[in-house]
Structure 1
Amino acid sequence: MVLGFSFETLVSVPWGFLLRSLLCIAFLRQVGKTLDQVWWRPRRLERELRAQGLRGTSYRFVIGDLKEYGRLSKEAWSKPLPLGCHDIAHHVAPFLHNTVREHGKKACFSWFGPVPKVTLSDPELAKDVMSNKFGHFEKTKFPALSKLLAEGLASIEGEKWAKHRRILNPAFQLEKVKRMLPAFSASCQDLVSKWMESLGSDGSCELDVWPELQTLTGDVISRTAFSSSYLEGRKIFQLQAEQAERLMTNITKILIPGYLCLPTENNRRMRQITKEIESILHSLVGKRIQAMKDGESTKDDLLGLLLESNIRHVDENGQAKLGMSIEDVVEECKLFYFAGMETTSVLLTWTMILLSMHPEWQDRAREEIMDLFGKNKPEYEGLSRLKTVTMILYEVLRLYPPAITFNRKTYKEMEIGGITYPAGVMVELPVMFIHHDPDIWGGDVHEFNPKRFVDGVSKASPNNPGAFLPFGWGPRICIGQNFALLEAKMAMCMIIQHFEFVLAPSYTHAPHTVITLHPMHGAQIILRAI
């Protein structure tokens, strides 16, 4: 007898009944786990947050605030802003704007599906979170989404992140980036030549510079990362652009647990895109590794520097497991492509738009550029002496940051600003709202005023030094910021050397987010040769 059952009784029970019972138990356990995830736990967390005086939206079953987020965004984006209006936060992120206004600027919460999302608009708290002052914070990540776009340095955690950062750091040191200036210059010259050929008989033409500048930065990242031309990398850029669009268009569905496993047309296409990108990059990386094994000299591009650093890292530690796998290298290459093209093209596009709106600053930039270079190609020594152009780029990054928020997640109970947050809470750091806060930047916060950066970044925000956060902060600050700024300076110098530009009548001022901050209807500019 065992627990009241004899062996004879046990073997006499039909196996079908036992199987059905086990499946029923497993199903009930899964139902209980799911209910805890989408109802009991969110309700418990909401009570805990409100008990500490934190205000926020009420939890809605499964979807949280995603439906309201989508509704408000659709409503705001249906109407453009007035030309010259830089008060864009309420238009770009209307749900976040309403939540902060209604529930508190310093800290409030909303719901990203069943996950509570705490928004911290205090720049000191934001920097403390990014610098891990309160303890280790994880990057907010959704594995399925990361895999569909890029699982590189931006999304990994812990020792793996530290290892990747050590391996990648040498490739992004300023001395290495300076060697890439000829590639920057060559790509910019191709763009200038193309625009010159587009000029009409009156020496002018109208262009949507948004896709043109994406082509430029795509060409730059292809040359500097893989020593190839834009034509060879175009397929990856096209696929990643489509992937980003599909992710953002379907974000409210994708975040429903298990949705990506459904055999929908959109899901099948996103998986196909991922396979195509990875196939191209596996081939590219494999060829480079084989060339290195065959004794060919390492190319002085980002992939070559990454692989060289990876091999050296392994040799110095004596353990192969400490280096990156081929899959890791491919994911970092996906991130090279996406981040290298996307963020800099966003910065250049908004810079051209704002200089078109504010021609006096375009004239000041041109005067500085011509004094330093004339019509000659810019070189590093002169680029490092640019003051007006640097101030302009910083002011564009303040008003139109490519990433409007950064997100982290608590991995254990943590106290931030006097509030105790349990594990698993998203912490949203709204860079755009910090950059547009009049209490930090003064009454002219929504004006395009590059002079605020005349004494550098630290003195630009008089009421809160260090509130300028376009590249993040702390140990996870953007590894490619030197690369992006040097590329942007080179591009703007060569464009301003050859053209003056104004907004075309067809331009509509409608910034919105597709991963980063895009001009919804393009950036139509009239160029005139000088």
Structure 2
Amino acid sequence: MEKMTASSAFLSVVCILFVTVLIKLMNWVWLRPKKLEKLLRQQGLSGTSYRFLFGDLKDFAAMRAEALKYPMDSFSHDYFPRVEPYRHQLSPKLGEDFFLWFGPIPMIQISKPQLIREAFTKTQELQKLKVNPIFEKLFPGIVNLEGEKWAKHRKLINPAFHVEKLKLMLPAFRDSCEEIINKWEMIIAKRGSGELDVYPDLMQLSSDVISRAAFGSNYKEGQKIFELLKQQTDVGLLMLQSVYIPGMRFIPTSRNRRFKKLEDQMRTSLRAIINKRKEEIEAGEALKADLLGILMDSNSKEIQQAAGSYKNQHIGMSLEDVIDECKLFYLAGQETTSTLIVWTMILLSKHQDWQERAREEVLQAFGNNVPDIESLNHLKTMTMILYEVLRLYPPVMQFSRWVQKDTNLGALSLPSGTIITFFMNTIHMDKELWGDDAEKFKPERFAEGISKATNGNNSYFPFGWGPRICIGEKFAITEVKMAICMFLQRFSFELSPSYVHAPRTMILLQPQHGAHIILNKL
């Protein structure tokens, strides 16, 4: 009788657990999405109808894959239909602001600058997207932190990006640029000109810069980490294209095992670099003026100042925190600058008049000497050109935020558990905000600064906006200015007939088929 009672109790517990899981599952994949859909439509928002589990993901992936098979018909800056064909198809039917489905989660697209500015400032209610834990592994550190921990990391990292620290990193920028220039000069030495795809070399350039500026090593020593990063990013992007079911990352599939192996190898390499630096510091060696050295110094001072405090367990970064920030340095420092440099070269190749104006300014400021940071900051024509390139080809084209708790955004009531998203290039090329020439390359629009160019609308967000604006903006702009200046001193360049205009987004906005450019030695 007791055995029967025990068996019945166990069976009852199993049944209760099964029913509970089933109810939660049904709520996740159907009941809650339908409830959210009703709430959004009651506010007057148009959107697609929810489809079980996958939402719009299958249509989105299929249309994007088809669009990327073909380059653009002409050299046009209206590339949104190619990189976001599904959204482009929906917009005429649903309006500028609408919602679609990221699996069982509604994603609300907003387009008005005032709403976007408000979204950037509501850091408590609207937080970084955390739909899939893989994203946090790909982009760890400050970019994904929230609240007090974000504030702490931002405070500790911020000194590394001050102008006086960037001055110390300028030799790293110069040496990396010299290596690429010497390589190009050897390629075109016989004829004085030649065609090559500059994009792989520009990726190597930015990899070299971040290795030297961040870790004091050269590209070859950092190449292992970059290769691991590239492989992990490729695997991670495939994983992000499917609906994430909680717990799936722990299932030992071949893709999950591959991702974890790459993560472990990368962290081991970064841990070795950091431990070596700690040993050097403990041995009394002078602090190196690179990002890692500055970060470790800032972290050490923070811990010392808090010594004895009852709060000191919450002060400073752990070794794993430092590894996360180093990984982010590598990824963000390499990808952002290489894409900005390549689009700048492509547009200056297309617009020879602006290339000549930029070269005249560079030669007048530096001659054939290496640029210095003070003069770099006063290059007016160069700054106008970079602002315009960032307007037309922002490295990060899409920003998304997770609605952490019910909140208002303008007249919208956003329920928790939804996502809001906005696209930089659609705002940057809105004719109502920028004028009828919004889709044209016209650096002169920035002749009197950003505020004048936007008619006071604050509709320019290439590095984000508000308290979480990109901390590495000055680093990236300084590196890009240095590279373009040194290229203009040595070469003139033009688009090759074999250049294929095909922007695509792979985390950042990149030229899908490279950048085939004809270099002419000056």
Instruction: Please confirm whether the aligned pair reaches a TM-score higher than 0.5, indicating the same fold.
Output: yes
User: How many angstroms does 1:88 deviate by?
Assistant: 1.2
**Superposition deviation, residue 22 in structure 1:** 2.5
Between 516-525 and 338-347, the greater mean CA deviation after superposition: 516-525
Counterparts of 1:266-285 in structure 2, within 5 Å, are 266-285=255-274
Structure 1 residue 109 corresponds to structure 2 residue 102: no
2 CA distance for matches of 1:374 and 1:83?
36
8 A Cα contact 2:135 2:240, kept in partner: no
Q: For the residues of structure 2 that align with 1:520 and 1:483, how far apart are their CA atoms?
A: 25
Q: For the residues of structure 1 that align with 2:162 and 2:130, how far apart are their CA atoms?
A: 27
Instruction: Give 1:390 shift.
Output: 0.9
Equivalent runs, 1:20-99 vs 2, <5 Å? 20-99=11-90
* More displaced stretch, 204-213 vs 333-342: 204-213
How far off its partner does 1:250 sit? 4.0
- The letter for the 2-side match of 1:360 is D
| Mapped pair 1:352 → 2:345 | yes
1:5: which partner in 2?
none
Task: Provide the rounded CA distance (Å) in 1 between the counterparts of 2:426 and 2:147.
Answer: 29
Query: What does residue range 227-266 of structure 1 map to in structure 2 within 5 Å?
Result: 227-253=216-242, 255-266=244-255
Q: Which residue of 1 aligns with 2:110?
A: 120
Which residue of structure 2 aligns with residue 479 of structure 1? 471
Residues 287-337 of structure 1 show CA distances to partners (whole Å, capped at 9, x for unaligned) of 212222233222111011111111111222331431111111100000000
Which residue of structure 2 lines up, in the alignment, with residue 6 of structure 1? none
Count of residue pairs brought into register by the alignment = 518
What per-residue deviation string (whole Å, max 9, x for no partner) do you get for residues 436-455 of structure 1? Answer: 21111111111111111111
Residues in 2 aligned to 1:290 and 1:499: alpha-carbon distance in whole angstroms:
44
Which moved further from structure 2: 403-412 or 18-27? 18-27
Aligned partner of 1:493 in structure 2 is 485
Are the counterparts in 1 of residues 196 and 518 from structure 2 also a CA contact under 8 Å? yes
Check whether the contact 1:245–1:514 (CA below 8 A) recurs between aligned residues.
no
Partner of 1:312: 301
Following TM superposition, by how much is the alpha carbon of 1:429 offset from its aligned partner in structure 2, in angstroms? 2.0
Q: Structure 2 CA distance, aligned partners of 1:323 and 1:89?
A: 42
The answer as to 2:332 corresponding to 1:339 is yes
Out of 467, 470, 484, the position equivalent to 2:462 is: 470
The aligned counterpart of 1:408 is: 401
Secondary structure of 2:25's counterpart equals helix
Encode CA deviations 1:107-134: one digit per residue, 9 max, x unaligned. Answer: 211111111111110011101110128x
Name the counterpart of 2:319. Answer: 326
Percentage of pairs with the same residue: 45
The separation in 1 between residues aligned to 2:426 and 2:337, in whole angstroms, is 21
- Asked whether the 8 Å contact 1:356–1:503 carries over to 2, the reply is yes
Are the equivalent residues in 2 in contact too, given 1:282–1:330 (CA < 8 A)?
A: yes
The answer for the alignment partner of 2:210 in structure 1 is 221
CA displacement 1:464-497 (0-9 Å, x = unmatched): 5321100000000000000000000000000111
| Partner SS state of residue 228, structure 1 | coil
CA–CA separation in structure 1 for the residues paired with 2:73 and 2:437: 17
Aligned letter for 1:286?
Answer: N
User: Quick check: 2:134–2:240 contact (8 Å CA) kept in 1?
Assistant: no
CA RMSD in angstroms comes to 1.6
CA drift of 1:14 comes to: 6.0
Retained in 1: the 8 A contact 2:402–2:418?
yes
Contact 1:210–1:522 (8 Å) recurs in 2: yes
Query: What is the Cα deviation at residue 198 of structure 1?
Result: 1.0
Q: Partner of 1:4 in structure 2?
A: none
Q: Structure 2 counterpart of 1:245, which letter?
A: D
Match of 1:193 in 2: 182
Match for 2:428: what amino acid?
H
Q: Secondary structure at the match of 1:297?
A: coil
Residue range with higher mean Cα deviation, 501-510 or 212-221: 501-510
> Equivalents in 1 of 2:92, 2:363: separation in Å?
46
Structure 2 residue 153 is matched with structure 1 residue 160? no
**SS state of the match for residue 335, structure 2?**
helix
Is this contact kept in 2: 1:221–1:337, CA < 8 A? yes
Question: Aligned residue for 1:431?
Answer: 424
Query: For the residues of structure 1 that align with 2:91 and 2:163, how far apart are their CA atoms?
Result: 39
- Residues 92-151 of structure 1, C-alpha deviation per residue, up to 9 Å, x if partnerless? 21222233332121x211111111111110011101110128x63211124521343131
TM-score when normalising by structure 2: 0.96
Contact 1:150 1:332 in 2 (8 A): no
The unaligned stretches of length 5 or more in structure 2 are none
Cα pair 2:127 2:403 within 8 Å, conserved: yes
Match of 2:121 in 1: 131
The code of the aligned residue for 2:249 comes to: L
Offset from partner CA, 1:206-226 (integer Å, 9 cap, x none): 211111101000000000110
Q: Secondary structure at the match of 1:501?
A: strand
Q: Which runs of 4+ in 1 moved over 3 A?
A: 14-21, 256-259
The 2-side partners of 1:375 and 1:204 are apart by: 20
Structure 1's 379 and 234: CA in aligned 2 closer, same or farther, altered over 3 A?
same
| Partner Cα separation in structure 2 for residue 327 and residue 101 of structure 1 | 47
Q: Is 1:148 matched with 2:141?
A: no
Alpha-carbon distance in structure 1 between the residues aligned to 2:468 and 2:20: 39
| C-alpha distance after superposition, 1:174-231 (max 9, x if no partner) | 2211221111111111111111111142111221111110100000000011000000
SS in structure 2 of the partner of residue 513 of structure 1 = strand
The amino acid that maps onto 1:393 is: L
Partner of 1:457: 450
The runs of 5 or more residues in structure 1 that have no matched partner are: 1-8
Asked if structure 2 preserves the Cα contact closer than 8 Å seen for 1:99 and 1:110, the reply is: no
Deviation at 1:47, TM superposition (A): 0.3
The amino acid that maps onto 2:174 is: S
**Deviation string, structure 1 residues 372-398 (Cα, Å, up to 9, x no partner):** 111111111221111111111111111
Length-normalised TM-score, structure 1: 0.94
Query: Post-superposition shift, 1:266?
Result: 2.1
